A = this chain, B = another copy of it.
């Protein structure tokens, strides 16, 4: 009964479960953040204010989220859960079952709507010092697009490059190139235009 026969290396990637209080605090902080966001907008969501309102120390906030942008990333990831399930097991054409090109088109429309709906948070989640993949936030797009492209016959295209290009073509406008007011105006009218633009783009790219 020596301790020798149990795995000593704790399976890289799951080094240890999160402590119960830590989990509670994380939830608490996210919930509070949403409240504040709804009431006062992104700018008023300061680290100190969040900590105080959540009844926790500032240090805790930082340990949980690392950075201010990290909070917004966490919120987005949270919202993306639902979205992700639709991709994995929702009805076609967004979910499985439809031809990949149709799914790609549907994905673009859905993602655009998502980005518009969460524009404030999405913008606030951008951290100049880090690339977007860091926050997972976009890995969803990148991975999904990659997965679909792979199923479409595309000649000798460089799949990785094309993936990142299309991801950027889809998300870039909202993350970088459209001003806040653009996006607001766009909420309904140009949202549709964007969706069509995406449809055109991927059709052009994928037609044989």
* Oligomer: number of copies: 2
A166 to B173, CA, bound (A): 10
Partner among B133, B180, B198 whose Cβ is within 8 Å of the Cβ of A177: B133
A170 to B176, CA, bound (A): 13
A36 to B126, CA, bound (A): 26
A6 to B58, CA, bound (A): 61
Asked if A98 CB lies within 8 Å of chain B CBs, one says: no
Interface residues on A, range: 35 or more
Asked if A138 CB lies within 8 Å of chain B CBs, one says: yes
Contacting chain B: which of A23-31, A89-97, A155-163? A155-163
Least Cβ distance of A16 to chain B in Å? 26
Interface centre among A131, A180, A196 (most CB of B within 10 A): A131
Given A131-B178, A179-B131, A180-B131: A168 touches B173 (CB 8 Å cut-off)? yes
Partner among B126, B167, B179 whose Cβ is within 8 Å of the Cβ of A134: B179
Do A176 and B128 have beta carbons less than 8 Å apart?
no
Partner among B158, B193, B198 whose Cβ is within 8 Å of the Cβ of A200: B158
Given A128-B123, A158-B200, A162-B200: A177 touches B173 (CB 8 Å cut-off)? no
Do B180 and A176 have beta carbons less than 8 Å apart?
no
Interface string of A101-143 (1 = CB under 8 A from B): 0000000000000000000000110111111111000100010
Residues of B within 8 A of A142 (CB): 177
Do B165 and A201 have beta carbons less than 8 Å apart?
yes
Residues of B within 8 A of A173 (CB): 164-165, 168
Least Cβ distance of A108 to chain B in Å? 10
Which residues of A in the span 161-208 have a Cβ within 8 Å of any Cβ on B?
161-162, 164-173, 175-180, 182, 193-194, 196-198, 200-201, 204-205
Do B126 and A197 have beta carbons less than 8 Å apart?
no
Chain B residue with the shortest CB-CB distance to A156:
B200
Chain B residue with the shortest CB-CB distance to A124:
B128
